[in-house]
Amino acid sequence: DATRAARDTVADARQRAREQAQAAARRVRQRTARHRETVGHFASAVKETAGEMLREARRAAAEAQDEMWSRYEARTRHRRNESKDD
């Protein structure tokens, strides 16, 4: 009878250990999933911000190029007018 009680106690202990291990694994999977989701949101935000920065840089470069071209045209126009006066 004592042997049966000992076997039941061991079986109960194993069952509890198995349940605790499963619960711990479940918590780890949930935490990993939340972490993956957070990292995904962060990566999306970085990508979006980088895209905005790239668009802004392209716009600024286009404006600078237009400004340089305007100055070049103004200088050449001024030189042409001076040469006509000669």
- Spell out the SS3 assignment of the chain: CHHHHHHHHHHHHHHHHHHHHHHHHHHHHHHHHHHHHHHHHHHHHHHHHHHHHHHHHHHHHHHHHHHHHHHHHHHHHHHHHHHHHC
| Residue ranges of domains in the chain | 1-86
What does the pLDDT look like over 33-66, one tens digit per residue? Answer: 999 999 999 999 999 999 999 999 999 999 999 9
What does the pLDDT look like over 10-39, one tens digit per residue? Answer: 999 999 999 999 999 999 999 999 999 999
pLDDT at 86: 63
Sign of the dihedral defined by the CA atoms of residues 59, 65, 69, 72, in that order: positive
